[in-house]
Chains A and B, each alone.
Chain A
Amino acid sequence: MRLLILILLPALSLLLQSTLFGFYSIYGVIPDVVLIFVVVFALLHNYKQATIYGFFCGLLEDLYVGNMIGMNALAKGLTAYIISSLQVQVFKENIIVSVLGVLLGTIFNTALIIIIMLTVNKPLVFNVDFLWKSGFQIMYNMVLSIPAYIFYYNSTRTGWLENKGND
């Protein structure tokens, strides 16, 4: 059940991003819900599990988009690794942890995607609009991280995502 939910979360997030958030984007910006769940997962699990989960979530997104397969897998895998490495000493019951985690995660993920896109000569326009949209997406992700973290944290303690085996 736990594994099924863990697979369904990014799959449904991707569906939400392409339908609901896609049709009703705010100023043309859609949140990265898959990334939010990857970061939330990374905050509550060790770096190995986080990296693998981030990689497969990113791969699903890449397969959905059908272009540059591996870009999101690499970016989300590395982002999950960084976040889970940083989270070891933080107090996880504080909601601020998720907000800061998603803030850092979105910055890392965006930076990694930019680096990968520039490496394969994909055209990118860096101007005020780009910065504004990136900043707005960070805020959008931070806001959505709050309900996502509450849901995820509670589920890992007493709900469907409770890990009854060894971590």
Chain B
Amino acid sequence: MLKIILNKWLVFVCLIVILSIIGVAFTASQNTNNVLVRTVRYVYMPVQSGIDAVRNNWLNIYDFFGNKKLLNQRIAEMEKELDQVKMANNSLNEYRHEAQRLQTLLDFKDSNIDVYDLVAARVIARSPNNWTNSLTISKGSQDGIAENMTVITPDGLVGRVNAVFSQSAEISLITDNEVAVGAIFAENRDTTGIVEGTGQDNGLRMVNIPYYAKINENETVLTSGLSSIYPKGIVIGTIRSVETENKGLLLNTVVIPAVDFNHLEEVLVIINYHPPDGS
């Protein structure tokens, strides 16, 4: 009896190991969008949006309690009204900051209306582990989002759409070590290279630069437009330092991203691109 149970157990373990290995092998090179993945996403999406809403209002709740304590101290000094105004002011400030951020997005959208068709989206979740750099946004295929669309902010390039669901999409950030972007320098337009994520905290480097290229620190790096995904001329970041690779034929540089990935709350997805020269 024990033998049968032991054998059943061994068969089960072998089965899950083999299934896992097959699963990893088949899904290692690209994201999967099968029915199980979609189901998990559909279940999580409304909860993530709810948590995001709570997170956004948390500051107001925090201010409410902070101010309430202050209010109690000042009741004796008859300043109740003043505290209520302060409380309202805090709340308005929060809305003002949000309005400013949205205004920046809107201004950017308006000024690029001839070049890009943009869809604004809110960041509702981030990568659940330390192995990938990704974001989940609140817009999906229902809003015209499709795979491999470029994601930006008014500051610069964020990444590309990696997987799309009906009401959400996953964005691979350019800081992910599996993302590579063709790049040129803003001034020295002849020199091209590839910007890739280091996989570490917001780290970027530009590689494959010829050794004779003249690179200045603080020079701006833009997308080259040579890949089919990223339109030309989007700011990626600025050069921080230049190093020669071991064999001396190529240079690589440390790039500071233009976008502050730690504080991304809204992004813009380029759903259509009309190059200015009509090409």
**Residues of A participating in the B interface, judged by any CB pair closer than 8 Å:** 14-15, 17-20, 22-23, 25, 27-30, 32, 48, 51, 55, 60-74, 77, 113, 116-117, 120-125, 129-130, 133, 137
Contacts and interface: CB of A to CB of B under 8 A. Distances in A.
Interface string B160-181: 0001000000100000011000
Given A15-B47, A68-B24, A74-B17, A30 B128 contact: yes
23 contacts: A15-B44, A15-B51, A18-B44, A18-B48, A19-B51, A19-B52, A22-B125, A22-B128, A61-B129, A66-B31, A66-B163, A67-B32, A68-B23, A69-B26, A70-B23, A71-B20, A74-B17, A77-B16, A113-B131, A120-B25, A120-B28, A123-B199, A133-B130
Contacts, number: 134
B113 interface: no
A80 B125 CA distance: 28
Contact of B125 (A18, A67, A113, A124): A18
Contacts of B31: 66-67
Given A18-B125, A28-B201, A64-B128, A73 B44 contact: no
Interface string B36-79: 11011100100110011001000000000000000000000000
**Residue picked from A66, A74, A123, most chain B C-beta under 10 Å:** A66
Interface size class of B (residues with CB under 8 A): 35 or more
Interface of B: 9, 13, 16-17, 19-28, 30-33, 36-37, 39-41, 44, 47-48, 51-52, 55, 124-132, 136, 163, 170, 177-178, 198-203, 262
B200 A15 contact: no
Contacts of A70: 19-24, 27
Given A25-B262, A65-B127, A65-B132, 10 more contacts: A18-B127, A19-B52, A27-B201, A28-B130, A29-B130, A60-B40, A65-B129, A69-B23, A77-B20, A133-B130
